[in-house]
Amino acid sequence: MMKLIQVADLHFGRECKPAITAAISAINSLQADALIVAGDLTQRGKTSEFEAARDWLSQIPLPQIVVPGNHDTPMLNLYARAHEPFKRFCELFGEDMQTLKFPGLKIVGLNTARGWQVRRNWAEGSVNLDDLQDALGDTPELKALVCHHPFRPVPGAPLTTRTKRGARASQAIARSNVRMLFTGHVHQPAIQNWREEGGQYLAIGAGTLSDRLREWPPSFNEIQLNSGQVQVIAHAYEGTRFVPRKLGTFTL
């Protein structure tokens, strides 16, 4: 069995201090194979917030893949947000989108965040289809994709997403060898088997470890992969500890 941990929306600067502290031992106790970080490490894209996120991640000794979110751009520096939005992120986490490779599975990162867009809500996601095609590649191996924004709106979520070119991206990965899409942004754990013409994939969203809560307490996901079966368990912070809640089991 392979086990992955998925976190998102850490929002250092607005982190839930008791939950994010307790999450270190909770995650480490699960003895997973890798940690997936699906964006929004910071609240305002400040250097001190990125350093706090880096220090927190350094306490989880797992192979990690980290992608930026819309909050990982300089919120108060409009020039930097427009011209070099991910400079601070790249200084600590690298300029290239990361990749993790395991026997039978390759996990690939994709940046769907933008520092600025010509639309009212600049925080919404946007998929560069050329970048997506590069991430998909042309190899037959099973893949998972990590980005911050869901491609399709999450059913029942308190936040409706409008990811630019998200529908086309969803259709593209359904036709590809990608079988799991790991995201954040809506601050609520969820799993959905998306069916598109030509294929399907699992959209797996993580909650938040910040105090910017919607309908769920702070949480992270545990994903168990076993002989083509995928079980997703959300670990919710209740009182002083994380309590597992099964979200569902699916076949890849």
Of 76, 55, 75, 54, nearest to 66 by C-alpha is 54
Query: d(Cα 107, Cα 142) in Å, to the nearest integer?
Result: 9
Q: What is the pLDDT of residue 156?
A: 82
Query: d(Cα 42, Cα 89) in Å, to the nearest integer?
Result: 10
**pLDDT greater than 70 at residue 164:** yes
The more confidently predicted of residues 224 and 124 is: 224
CATH number 3.40.50.620 is the correct assignment for the domain at 2-251: no
Written as six digits, the tokens of 225 are 């992969």
Give 37-76 pLDDT, tens digit per residue.
999 999 999 999 999 999 999 999 999 999 999 999 987 7
Four-residue CA torsion sign, 59, 22, 72, 174: positive
pTM: 0.95
Mean pLDDT along residues 233-238? 98
User: Residue ranges per domain, the chain?
Assistant: 2-251
Strand pairing partners for 12?
Answer: 42
Angle, alpha carbons 12-236-70 (nearest 5°): 35
Percent of the chain past pLDDT 70, that is, above it, reads: 96
Give 7-18 pLDDT, tens digit per residue.
999 999 999 999
Give 76-124 pLDDT, tens digit per residue.
776 777 778 899 999 999 876 789 999 999 999 999 999 776 656 667 8
